Amino acid sequence: MIIDAHVHVYDEGWIPKAFMRGLGQVVAANMARPTGEYPDADALVAGATEQLKDPTGELLIADMDEAGVDVSVIFPVDYALGASEPCSGDSECVPIAEQNRIFSEIAKRHKKRLVHFVAVDPRRRDAVAQLERGVTEQGARGLKLHPTAGFYPDDPACYPLYRKAQELGAIVLFHTGTQPGPMKAKYSRPVFVDSVAADFPDLKIIMAHVGHCWWEEALALAGSKWNLYVDFSGWQRAFPAHADKFYRMLRSALDEIGPWRVMYGTDNPYLKLMMPSKNYIAAVRDAVNRKDHSFSKEELDIIMGGAAARLLKLD
């Protein structure tokens, strides 16, 4: 069984233009590596958004079928750009409550293939109510949080939301690691998630992307808290130049916390433009053939789906 533990679905109006511009700038900078010539970031975004639009999730299901993925965990992101206290959010975007409803509809339409999480910035006045409605009325299994919008995970203002998540048995997933502008990475260092894990020992918490550049920090923390999990979505970025870095991270994760708290994920649809799921899965499976590290097939089976199935209580 293959479970992709970290997937977004994209449509226009769900993501602030400022974030898409930031994403385009990162892609432009990557393309400029050999020549120093930056392509036009806005043109890159315009080209990509046409390929990414998937308001009903049909494209995602087709991608899953192609790659042999059984189940995907989908969620919107509450970017809450320019949020003040209490959070006002993005006027240019479909309100996050409506996006949560849309994601629940998409998941319902593909009941056997999709599981969804609610996304809500903890600074919103109705954050707790949105989470509760998402779980009890719309069938969400967890909560996705994006600290790079401007809050530290261990800010006491966020605690009512964690309390509710723990009470509902919902999983909490934090973006950890870097992000394009205008988002700010300083809020998403894994160490701030550690405090939440300490204060809510019965809350199951996923550090997405294994903290990117802070992967060693993320794994060290997970090694000392029983409720911290990681997903290795976004690590497709290692493959063009540093495949060895990916396998070193993965081996370290397995050594530090064992396979049952390590989960495959993609961060698609964005990352599929860099590496299709089919290829990423093949690259993970190829770990058994590495000469620099040794992996067992059993370990890979667990991280590709067994661990997520157990965490999400899927049969």
CB of 144 to Zn ion, least distance (A): 8
Q: Which residues pair with 117 in a beta bridge?
A: 142
Number of residues assigned to the chain: 315
CA dihedral 119, 301, 247, 294 (to 10 degrees): 160
Q: At what angle do helices 190-199 and 159-168 cross, to 10 degrees?
A: 60
Q: Are strands 71-74 and 3-7 parallel, antiparallel or unpaired?
A: parallel
Nearer to Zn ion by Cβ, of 4 and 267: the residue is 267
List residues near Zn ion by CB under 5 A: 267
CB of 271 to Zn ion, least distance (A): 9
Single-letter code of the amino acid located at 170: A
Nearer to Zn ion by Cβ, of 48 and 299: the residue is 48
Sheet with 142-145, side-by-side order of all strands: 3-7, 71-74, 114-119, 142-145, 171-175, 205-208, 228-231, 262-263
CB of 145 to Zn ion, least distance (A): 11
With vertex at residue 308, the alpha carbon angle to CA 102 and CA 153, rounded to the nearest 5 degrees, is: 70
Nearer to Zn ion by Cβ, of 63 and 267: the residue is 267
Structure tokens of 46?
């315009």
Measured from the Cβ of residue 8, the count of other Cβ atoms closer than 10 Å reads 24
Nearer to Zn ion by Cβ, of 267 and 299: the residue is 267
Structure tokens of 107?
């998941």
CB of 267 to Zn ion, least distance (A): 4
CB of 299 to Zn ion, least distance (A): 24
Q: Is-contact 228 221, C-beta < 8 A?
A: yes
Nearer to Zn ion by Cβ, of 173 and 287: the residue is 173
CB of 183 to Zn ion, least distance (A): 11
Structure tokens of 230?
């990681």
Nearer to Zn ion by Cβ, of 122 and 180: the residue is 180
